[in-house]
């Protein structure tokens, strides 16, 4: 009986996929299956994946034409047979000693979702850790932390995904993980947040989030923002739509800072002209009470974005990018 289906989408991942799959292979349980979805890779990825499948019957390789990570995950979910699904990105890997605890949680069959902490692994070799706050519940985890903005390193009860026809949205270039997490949370009842850190998340400059344009990021964030507001309205809990709009402000400033940092000031100004005056940012700003921004410089940023010339805004966020420790 398969307890855990590990789904690994991969595209041109020959540099790290071997380390990733080796960390999965160390799972001591015969009740684990690993479904590798090769998204039309043109490098040596397929050969590496095939070696693991040839050597270990728990591994299965699905080859398909390139169509993106959301479609790859959906295909992996369709092929999965385990009681629980866990997603793993091809450049990440399971921490040594983590598998017994993961398997034990799956064997308990007591939770709809089990979420874990993780390690950030930087290109320099530096490592930091991410943990859920003490006593964290699902609403706080989804809305007040960034730990559930991604789907990897979480055990999902597969029957909920199947019965609720949950899918990753292929029309999103970013935020597809976070939208899926909200979709799943609305269909589930029992959540467990563990102190264990089970994987290493590799951070590098060439990620999809960093490559997408400011316009695409804002458009995708608007979808996520809408889902978050729907979620809090449906839940009727401690969080309100006003809280969600307030939390959206630092996301927008981070996106503007990143745009200025990765482009010239004139190119950033051009990007701001195309987006900042548009309905997404304007819709957020009209729902924020400036007095609720806790820090004085946040109030200044609000006014600068809302009223300042785009060139001044670009210069400000360029300087902020250069001076704020990243």
Q: Where in the chain is the domain with CATH 3.90.550.10?
A: 4-208
Give the CATH number of domain 4-208: 3.90.550.10
The tens digit of pLDDT for each residue in 210-237 reads 568 999 999 999 999 999 999 999 988 8
Q: Which residues contact 16 (CB under 8 A, 6 or more apart)?
A: 90, 91, 92, 93, 202
Q: Looking at 6-10, 18-22, 123-127, which range is the least confident one?
A: 123-127
Q: Is the pLDDT of residue 175 over 90?
A: yes
221-239: b or e for each residue (b if 16 or more CB lie within 10 Å)? bbbbbebbbebbeeeeeeb
Tokens of 98: 């983590």
The tens digit of pLDDT for each residue in 238-297 reads 899 999 999 999 999 999 999 999 999 999 999 999 999 889 999 999 999 888 888 888
pLDDT score for 288: 92
The tens digit of pLDDT for each residue in 13-54 reads 999 999 999 999 999 999 999 999 999 999 999 999 999 999
Q: Do the strands 4-10 and 84-87 form a parallel or antiparallel pair, or are they unpaired?
A: parallel
pLDDT score for 220: 96
Q: Is the pLDDT of residue 206 over 60?
A: no
CA atoms in the 13 A half-sphere facing the CB of 241 = 11
């Amino acid at each position: 009986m398969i307890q855990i289906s590990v789904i690994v989408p991969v595209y041109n991942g020959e540099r790290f996929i071997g380390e990733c799959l080796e960390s999965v292979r160390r799972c001591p349980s015969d009740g684990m299956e690993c479904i590798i979805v090769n998204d039309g890779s043109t490098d040596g990825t397929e050969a590496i994946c095939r070696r693991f499948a040839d050597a270990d019957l728990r591994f299965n390789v699905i080859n398909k034409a390139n169509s993106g990570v959301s479609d790859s995950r959906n295909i992996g979910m369709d092929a999965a047979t385990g009681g629980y699904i866990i997603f793993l990105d091809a450049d990440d890997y399971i921490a040594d000693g983590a598998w017994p605890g993961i398997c034990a949680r799956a064997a308990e069959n007591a939770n709809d979702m089990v979420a874990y902490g993780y390690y950030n692994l930087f290109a320099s070799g530096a490592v930091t850790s991410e943990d859920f706050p003490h006593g964290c519940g699902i609403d706080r985890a989804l809305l007040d932390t960034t730990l559930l903005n991604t789907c990897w390193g979480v055990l999902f009860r597969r029957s909920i995904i199947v019965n609720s026809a949950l899918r990753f949205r292929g029309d999103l270039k970013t935020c597809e993980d976070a939208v899926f997490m909200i979709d799943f949370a609305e269909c589930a009842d029992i959540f467990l947040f563990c102190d264990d850190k089970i994987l290493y998340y590799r951070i590098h400059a060439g990620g999809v989030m960093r490559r997408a344009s400011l316009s695409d990021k804002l458009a995708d964030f608007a979808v996520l923002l809408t889902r978050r507001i729907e979620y809090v309205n449906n839940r009727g809990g401690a969080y309100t739509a006003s809280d969600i709009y307030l939390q959206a402000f630092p996301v927008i400033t981070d996106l503007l800072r990143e745009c200025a940092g990765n482009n010239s000031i004139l190119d950033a100004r051009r990007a701001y002209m195309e987006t900042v005056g548009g309905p997404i940012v304007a819709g957020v700003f009209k729902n924020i009470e400036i007095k609720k921004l806790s820090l004085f410089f946040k109030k200044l940023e609000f006014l600068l974005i809302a009223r300042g010339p785009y060139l001044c805004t670009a210069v400000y966020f360029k300087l902020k990018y250069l001076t704020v420790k990243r």
